[in-house]
Amino acid sequence: MEAVLAKYENQINVFSEFLEDLPDTDEPVWVLGECYNAKTEKIELLSDVHSRLWFTYRKKFSPIGGTGPSSDAGWGCMLRCGQMILAQALVCSQLGRAWRWRADGGQPEDYHRILHCFLDRKDSCYSIHQMAQMGVGEGKSVGEWYGPNTVAQVLKKLALFDDWNSLAVYVSMDNTVVIEDIKKQCRQASSESRFRPRPCGWQEPFTSRETPEQACSHTDGNRATTCPHSQFHSDWRPLLLVIPLRMGINHINPVYIQALKECFKMPQSCGVLGGKPNLAYYFIGFVGEELIYLDPHTTQSAVEAEAEAGSGVDDQSYHCLRSPRRMKITNLDPSVALGFFCKSEDDFDSWCNLVQQEIQMKRNLRMFELVENHPPHWPPFVPPTKPEVQTTGAEFIESTDKLFESEEEFEILNV
């Protein structure tokens, strides 16, 4: 009964509340690289916002670590926002940016498999259990509040254990994005490069005379088709680029506001982690001088699901059917993390060109630096690799500081 009431609460006055909350303006509404007219494209805008995976506080899940908390209410909001930005990258990778969720069901199998990665269970790759325990290696106790940079480091480590998505997570250091390092990490050969991905048969070896492209081609009736997952065989692993920044001391410096808006306009936009002190939000766009965000501060009961990754999940509570919240950009805490998803190397090159044209060449104070080569005074860049142990990752919480580098601090931008 409680689950039914929670689902009903999430859907109360869905259309009227959302449409009334949007400002009656001629200014464009930007959501993760897509532009909408608030007056003529409200339904399309609504569908886009509803399709984002929405992770909130949960209760009544199995205790973290066996004896820890069974709810993340009050402390897990930044972890939930981290889940949302990562989920957006996985949706873009597996389903495409144009994919839309339907409340009546009928979702593709890969959608349910993505959702299974975030269920509140210890064996889900990106569950609150895995994130909280991996955070111990970042110096955070289970139940302690996280900042954007710490969450980014946790996601980078957990992604190493996700063979299905093969996502490369790059977290910038010192406000600097190094093109050479990113291309080195995304071109990194993986041990699965000679195995078939789903749906052709995950980890089914190719024949010695068979190219990956040939192996992923199959016949559907009389029509030849190509496996939609064949991108895994390219020389480029899908990239989630996270750029932690501090755009001021106590408040955001107004000189960065326009540059922040430009980030939401980019087709590669994956959102922004940020919020207010001790209140984390997942920002997905803006209209005028206000940011649009998904708020994780709603406590729902944990969802029970079958163990099989592709099985259906009661997903109504994973989509925000209420009005998207808005806040003035000037109220944003200066500590944020920008997110971008690049599915291919051409996509990344396009993002680099956009950054150079729209941010670096037009702004007096740059949000971050984009450089071609690895700075000579930095330590050598070594792409992170999965430890040669069969584990989900959380078992390494006592030794992750030896396996990975952590950049907890980042410098404050000039004000």
Predicted pLDDT at 198: 40
Which of these is catalytic: 110, 120, 295, 333?
A: 295
Give percent above pLDDT 70 in the chain: 75
User: Does residue 188 register a pLDDT over 70?
Assistant: yes
Higher pLDDT, 45 or 205: 45
| Cβ pair 285, 294 in contact under 8 A | no
As separate numbers, helices (DSSP H) first and strands (DSSP E) second, the chain gives: 12, 17
- Tell me what the mean pLDDT of segment 3-24 comes to: 47
Q: Read out DSSP for 60-88?
A: SPPPGGGTS-SB-TTT-HHHHHHHHHHHH
CA distance 104 to 272: 29
CA distance 18 to 277: 26
> 45-54, 235-244, 391-400: lowest mean pLDDT where?
391-400
Higher pLDDT, 313 or 171: 171
Predicted pLDDT at 313: 78
Predicted pLDDT at 326: 94
Give percent above pLDDT 90 in the chain: 61
| Cα–Cα distance list, 102 to 118, 168, 330, 333 (Å) | 19, 29, 35, 34
CA distance 337 to 376: 25
Predicted pLDDT at 389: 52
CA within 13 Å, CB half, 393: 29
User: What's the pLDDT band for 365 if we cut at 50, 70, 90?
Assistant: confident
User: Does residue 193 register a pLDDT over 60?
Assistant: no
User: Does residue 151 register a pLDDT over 70?
Assistant: yes
Measured at the CA of 329, the angle between CA 325 and CA 333, to 5 degrees, comes to 95
CA distance 266 to 278: 28
Which of these is catalytic: 48, 50, 72, 77?
A: 77
> 70-79, 172-181, 289-298, 383-392: lowest mean pLDDT where?
383-392
Predicted pLDDT at 299: 96
Which of these is catalytic: 163, 297, 352, 401?
A: 297
| Crossing angle of the two packed helices 179-186 and 345-355, in degrees rounded to 10 | 170
Is 297 catalytic? The answer is yes
Taking phi over 0 as left and psi of -120 to 50 as alpha, with beta for the rest, 119 belongs to beta
pLDDT in tens, 325-348: 999 999 999 999 999 999 999 999
Predicted pLDDT at 309: 57
Tokens of 233: 């065989």
pLDDT in tens, 152-185: 999 999 999 998 999 999 999 999 999 999 999 9
User: Does residue 17 register a pLDDT over 70?
Assistant: no
Backbone phi, then psi, for 213, in 5-degree steps?
Answer: -65, -40
pLDDT in tens, 234-244: 689 999 999 99
Tokens of 349: 């090159």
User: What's the pLDDT band for 205 if we cut at 50, 70, 90?
Assistant: very low
User: Does residue 209 register a pLDDT over 80?
Assistant: no
User: Does residue 395 register a pLDDT over 90?
Assistant: no
Mean pLDDT of the chain: 81
User: What's the pLDDT band for 189 if we cut at 50, 70, 90?
Assistant: low
- Tell me what the mean pLDDT of segment 395-410 comes to: 38
Q: Read out DSSP for 270-286?
A: EEEEEEETTEEEEEEEE
CA distance 83 to 86: 5
Range with top average pLDDT, 8-12, 220-224, 297-301, 392-396? 297-301
Beta strands in 95-147 (DSSP E): none
Tokens of 120: 């509140």
User: Does residue 415 register a pLDDT over 50?
Assistant: no
User: Does residue 290 register a pLDDT over 70?
Assistant: yes
**Helix, strand, coil share (%) of the chain residues, nearest 5:** 35, 20, 45
Higher pLDDT, 394 or 166: 166
Predicted pLDDT at 122: 92
User: Does residue 3 register a pLDDT over 80?
Assistant: no
Higher pLDDT, 187 or 278: 187
Q: Which of 130, 113, 112 is nearest to 121 (CA)?
A: 130
User: What's the pLDDT band for 388 if we cut at 50, 70, 90?
Assistant: low
Q: Which of 31, 144, 38, 146 is nearest to 98 (CA)?
A: 31
- CA end-to-end distance (rounded Å), the chain: 53
> 176-180, 363-367, 375-379: lowest mean pLDDT where?
363-367
User: Does residue 402 register a pLDDT over 80?
Assistant: no
Higher pLDDT, 206 or 373: 373
Is 120 catalytic? The answer is no
